[in-house]
Amino acid sequence: MHRLISLCCGVLLLIATRVPASGQGADGLTALLARSQFDLAADGREFLLKEVNRASFLLVGGLHGDNETQALLQSLMAGLGEGPKLVIAEMSPWAANRLFAAVPASSGVRLRGADIEEMQLHLLIRDLAASNPENRPLQQMAELVKNGYRRTLADQLLGLARQVGEVKDASPGGVPLRTLLVRTLEVEADRSRPETSDQTASMRRERVMKDFFLMHYRQTAAAGEKPKVAVAFGRNHLHRGIDRRGVSTLGNFIAEFALGEGGESFNVALFAAGGKIALGGVRDFDERKDDPAFDYLASIARYTTTVFDMKPLREPLRNIPVTARTPAQGSLLYWADSYDAVVCYRNVTPLGAR
């Protein structure tokens, strides 16, 4: 018993030391942060599944090039219960169809992509051009990308894409190829122009994600009852509200859409306090220096994988005057408003490695 008391006091002391607070909010924050964390391997999974069970829309804001994002999504899918499920990933509908075409309809799971085509745009162009050998703009586009796609070609390709007209088209993954091509090139053209801000391109891309999400949802719902939805994108795309780029994200759209459908969403974010990812080769990955909230949460995380319930933190953090908030407190409020839960991984592993 004495050891337990000493351990608890030590944890509380560490919290008070690492996140200075002022005024009335200090004690409340200390206590909340001490009891708002769970072990993903035990009570943390139970906590998350209980929260997911109350929601119709699960949003997992993950990493890229890691095993943990996919593992968490698969683990939490059970919380969505029985019935049809729509799983939407951060890839184009065309790419998702190439990866997931073999998933049987009897599984009750429909896997879709809701993003532009960033990885193999030249192959998408070749596919559409091959189906329309008499279409001159498409043949010109195919010639331009015969050695691969470069962003410097985006404006020229977009001009040609707008001249394509009626074509023999297909909708692998639920979105016509011509639609995907034009929407992708609009984003890429924004990115290629020095006079266009990053925010403008990001807002256009998020609009693509929202439109494609809505197309997939309506197509799935038209086939029967409303599906439960699981969405896995990078963490920056699934915030509630306006993110730090000044962009209203896909996650914000889905949260509001869920309410309109008579349901609710549950947003969970992942971050890494160490480990490696496979992104342009295997490399070290540690996000503690990227954000004071991540550094703080990692410093008090008691488990190998710690789940933090962020909802109880919202009111106490808002009660701390803006001028009195530390950088960590300001960042904690941002993440608490954006996500219902945050999962801290002490070590992530590169995609494909076990």
User: pLDDT (tens digit, 9 = 90+) per residue, 102-145?
Assistant: 677 667 889 999 999 999 999 999 999 999 999 999 999 999 99
* pTM of this structure: 0.89
Examine residue 204 and state whether it is found in any structural domain, yes or no: no
Tokens of residue 26, six digits: 């200090």
Examine residue 323 and state whether it is found in any structural domain, yes or no: yes
pLDDT attached to residue 27? 55
pLDDT attached to residue 9? 39
pLDDT attached to residue 352? 84
Examine residue 162 and state whether it is found in any structural domain, yes or no: no
The total number of structural domains that make up the chain:
1
Task: Note down the domain range covering 53.
Answer: 2-83+227-345
Model pLDDT for residues 82-95, shown as the tens digit of each residue: 888 999 999 999 99
Which domain CATH number covers 317? 3.40.1660
Examine residue 27 and state whether it is found in any structural domain, yes or no: yes
d(CA 45, CA 51): 10
Examine residue 193 and state whether it is found in any structural domain, yes or no: no
pLDDT attached to residue 82? 85
pLDDT attached to residue 163? 96
Examine residue 205 and state whether it is found in any structural domain, yes or no: no
In what side-by-side order are the strands of the sheet with 228-234? Answer: 37-39, 305-309, 341-345, 265-272, 57-62, 228-234, 85-89, 109-113
d(CA 105, CA 175): 18
Examine residue 79 and state whether it is found in any structural domain, yes or no: yes
Mean pLDDT by 10 residues, the chain (354 residues): 40 36 51 88 96 96 97 94 92 94 76 96 96 97 97 97 94 95 97 90 97 96 89 97 94 97 96 96 96 95 96 93 94 97 98 78
Tokens of residue 254, six digits: 């889905």
